[in-house]
Amino acid sequence: VVPLVEEGRAVPLFTFGIMDDEGALVRDPEVSDLPTVAEVHRTLEGREPSGVVWDAYRAVVGAGI
């Protein structure tokens, strides 16, 4: 992705995030200037992400996939 961004052919919008030791989704330190998908959801929807799909997402991110 980095070459595409450098060429101006892609724009990073958010990251998947990583799980901290308490199980919270936090920004990836490698790209800490980008919001997580949860932050984008809160901005766009005005509420915390929730539901079955969100639970599945957290399980995948928590597994390190």
Q: DSSP assignment of 38-54, as one string?
A: HHHHHHHHSS---SHHH
CA pseudo-torsion sign 35, 39, 41, 46: negative
Whole-number pLDDT of residue 1 = 85
Query: What's the domain range around 29?
Result: 2-62
Whole-number pLDDT of residue 64 = 81
- Model pTM score: 0.84
Q: Structural domain tally of the chain?
A: 1
Q: Tokens at residue 32, please?
A: 């800490």
**Full pLDDT tens readout for the chain, 65 residues:** 889 999 999 999 999 999 999 999 999 999 999 999 999 999 999 999 999 999 999 999 989 86
Q: Where are the alpha helices (DSSP H) in the chain?
A: 2-6, 37-45, 52-62
